[in-house]
Structure 1
Amino acid sequence: MKAIVTLGNGGYDRLLHCDVLRPVPGPDEVLIRVLAAGVNNTEINTRLGWYSSSVRTGTEDAAAAEQAAPTQKADGGWNAATPFPFIQGTDCCGVVIEAGRAADRQLLGRRVLVRACMRPDGFSSHETIWMGSDFDGAFAEFVKVPASEAFAVNCDWSDAELATIPCAYGTAENMLHRAALRAGERVLVTGASGGVGSAAIQLARHRGARVVAVTSHDKAEAVRQLGCETVLDRSADLPAVLGEGSIDLVVDNVAGPHFGVMPKLLRRGGRYVSSGAIGGPIVSFDIRDVYLKDLTLIGCTAWDEPVFPNLVSCIEAGAIRPLLAGTFPLARIADAQREFLRKQHVGNFVLIP
């Protein structure tokens, strides 16, 4: 089969379009013919080794540095070392074509989404393994996964539209679930035009929350159409515009130099939740804002058990809609990732094998 093999940490030259052996499913696994595979920050960050403690900048700066002078990082992946060479691809929409002898045969012929965040020790443990980060993923014509991680979806969305969902919407739903967002609360979403940010807006609105979104001026109208109460430019003085103590929950995957204002925006007893730091992982803030206001800071990586079933229900009920920024052939993955890093889009890009 054709696949994109990531050879190691570095630039786009580390992405090799080549022939590899088609995977064979084990007893508890299914083989999926990939119909579409989404592009996310996580694949770029893993290729760059961005998760290493040695990296102190945001994704865009790290990408430029690795393209100029690539370095191998032993701690550059989600779970420390990345198993190079391997096939990335966290988002998979596909059809089940084979099932192992102990797998659910009712999945055969069904269009499915794959729950990429897997909990090998059960949902009482936060240990995870990720498709496309810890083992071969969906940047290929075929992928094998545990049958328990393949979820049949009944809807009229295109394959590419469905492929925008797993990582971005799973991450957003997990943050809102973990932070226990309630109807009527006011939530601030940073990076609102990105895959996770735009998903968080829709899922927060589905819960009955009021959403304040932060994005760039040129994307404001597209973000506003997702149902936001207020859309602010990322250069705005947020405490001056919104008022200190005016937000119940901050959903932030940006971090970077503006992180320090987030605790000030939160009301007493408010919550801050994050699953990323595309603006830079090293931040500065006043810890007194945290303890004097009884704030809760929540980090999210491992998806909780209800998260993916909730997403499938939302899709099938028409409660959310996909934001497909564009598609690329699998062989043009470098072009797709370059376009992704330009940050001129709203939603997600998708690769078609």
Structure 2
Amino acid sequence: MTVPETMRAVRVTRHGGPEVLERARLPLPAPRQGEVLVRVAAAALNNTDLWTREGAYGRPADPRALSGWRGPVDFPRVQGADVAGRITAVGTGTPGNLLGRRVVIDPAIYDGTGPDAHPVGLMGSERDGGYAEYVTAPAERVHDMTASPLTDDQLAALPTAYGTALGMIERGRLREGETALVTGASGGVGIALTQIARARGARVIAVSSGPKADAVRAAGAHEVIDRTRDLTGQLRAAAPGGIDIALDVVAGGLVADGLPLLREGGRWVVAGALGGYDLTFDVRRLYLRNTRLIGSSMHTPAHFGLLMDLARRGDIRPPIAAVFPLEEAARAQEELARRHHIGKIVLRPGS
């Protein structure tokens, strides 16, 4: 298969607003030993794209410091963690039978080689990502989705949002028949949590704004409560017996208010801080009822494999909110930041 010598890309040049995204013509990346070259069919946007561009992650010693996901960003950087496409070239030591395969890339950079390794970096942050016509990836991190009934846009929507959701559900050990609270339910991770928790046989109580309630119900929520009203009062009415597990991407004051609503042995799993990261809660609510507060960052290789199995069977179908050509990446990020949409926003480099 013939590939060009250069490619179109959009990269971030420094921390700042959408204006720091620049269009560029770059040399085609060459796959190194053990890597593959993927022609990008679709690249989905995530909040991590916004926060990496803004430098909003902070550092352990200085929560307000400009920083990427795991520290300083090596600018310029091609963003984009979520990629679906086809393998067009392979590096030395990589099986040639991968050529032409339709794949999804696991974007995580792990701290080890085992199935339970932790993510310590991310494509689009610690290495170049999918805001481009081509991207390289380790061969062991590409998953063959040739037989999946999902579209390229839907496949690209999976890695970060659905991987994060499945990581939360696996780490929280959600069981069939349990009552699960999902916060931020109309966002990418929230929709994924709702779909997967429902598929696991949980009773799902979702928190969203009124205008988006119907879409959240369509994703599988049994009940939707309005985040603009008395949340704890609504939760007590919706789950008078308490909550088994909270799948939370909002945090903030909701953690302190919600911990007392957990049943004996309940779990509160946090994978985001849209509502604030600096909070205070009564620690007695943890130990007196044997509850657990669990931090969850993305997924493990084992979690990602489970996610790809779901996608091959078509058991999950991410909703797509909008599609933009690659050159309009800045406008796409602006649309993402407005949070008026439901589902994923996708870039198509071929458009």
Q: TM-score, normalised by structure 2?
A: 0.92
Deviations 1:301-336 (A, max 9, x none): 152232111111111222111110110111111111
Partner of 1:335: 331
Q: Give the secondary structure class of the aligned counterpart of 2:219.
A: coil
Post-superposition offset of 1:261: 1.4
Alignment of 1:241 with 2:234, yes or no, is yes
| Match 1:126 to one of 108, 118, 127 | 118
1:2 aligns with 2:8: yes
Give the structure 2 partner of residue 84 of structure 1: 75
State the one-letter code of the partner of 1:345. H
Aligned-pair identity in percent equals 43
CA contact (8 A) 2:29 2:134 kept: yes
Give the distance between the partners of 2:119 and 2:152, measured in 1 at CA.
30
* Alignment check: 8 A CA contact 1:245 1:264 kept: no
SS in 1 for 2:245: strand
Paired AA for residue 96 in structure 2: R
d(CA) in 1 for partners of 2:10 and 2:277?
28
Counterpart for residue 61 of structure 1: none
Shift in Å at residue 88 of structure 1?
0.9
| Superposed counterparts of 1:166-315, under 5 Å | 166-243=159-236, 246-301=242-297, 303-315=299-311
Q: How far off is 1:127 after superposition?
A: 5.3
Q: How many angstroms does 1:157 deviate by?
A: 2.3
CA deviation profile, 1:149-200 (whole Å, cap 9, x unmatched): 0101122322112111111000000110111111001100000010000001
The one-letter code matched in structure 2 to 1:15 is L
Distance 1:135 1:251, change over 3 A: same
Instruction: Tell me if structure 2 keeps the 8 A contact 1:119–1:302.
Output: no
How far residue 259 of structure 1 moved from its aligned partner, in angstroms, is 2.9
The whole-number CA distance in structure 2 between the counterparts of 1:125 and 1:188 is 27
Summarize deviations over 1:61-116 as a string: whole Å, max 9, x none: xxxxxxxxxxx83xx11211111111110000110000112113222101100001
Aligned 8 A contact 2:149 2:313 in 1: no
The verdict on how the C-alpha distance between 1:94 and 1:241 changes in structure 2, with shifts beyond 3 A counting, is: same
Counterpart amino acid of residue 24 in structure 1? A
The answer to whether the 8 Å contact 1:128/1:302 transfers is no
Quote the residue 1:60 is aligned against: none
Is residue 11 of structure 1 aligned with residue 17 of structure 2? yes
Q: Displacement of 1:140 after TM fit? A: 0.5
Which digits, 9 at most, give the CA deviation of each residue in 1:266-302, with x for residues without a partner? 1121101111112222223222212222211111115
**Distance in structure 1 (CA, Å) of the matches to 2:157 and 2:19:** 25
Task: Tell me by how many angstroms 1:251 deviates.
Answer: 0.5
Corresponding residue SS for 2:27: coil
Deviation at 1:125, TM superposition (A): 4.6
Q: Secondary structure at the match of 1:37?
A: strand
CA distance in 2, matches of 1:255, 1:165: 23
Residue 23 of structure 1, CA deviation: 0.3
SS at match of 1:228: coil
Which residue pairs with 2:107 in the alignment? 116
Q: Secondary structure in 2 aligned to 1:92?
A: strand
The CA distance in 2 between the partners of 1:314 and 1:232, in whole Å, is 28
Q: State TM-score, norm by structure 1.
A: 0.91
Cα distance in 2 for residues equivalent to 1:284 and 1:236: 21
1:289 alignment partner, SS class: helix
Q: Give how far 1:27 is off.
A: 1.4
Name the amino acid aligned to 1:30. Answer: V
Q: C-alpha separation between the residues in 2 aligned to 1:235 and 1:52?
A: 28
Task: Kindly state the Cα deviation for residue 344 of structure 1 after the two structures are TM-superposed.
Answer: 1.0
CA contact (8 A) 1:93 1:163 kept: yes
Cα distance in 2, alignment partners of residues 233 and 112 from structure 1: 38
Count of equivalent residues = 336
What residue identity is the alignment partner of 2:301? E
Contact 1:245 1:268 in 2 (8 A): no
Q: Secondary structure at the match of 1:320?
A: coil
* CA drift at 1:238: 3.1
Does the Cα contact within 8 Å between 2:35 and 2:137 map onto a contact in 1?
yes
User: Do the aligned partners of 1:28 and 1:147 also contact (CA within 8 Å) in 2?
Assistant: yes
RMSD: 1.6
1:135 match: 127
What amino acid maps onto 2:98 in structure 1?
L
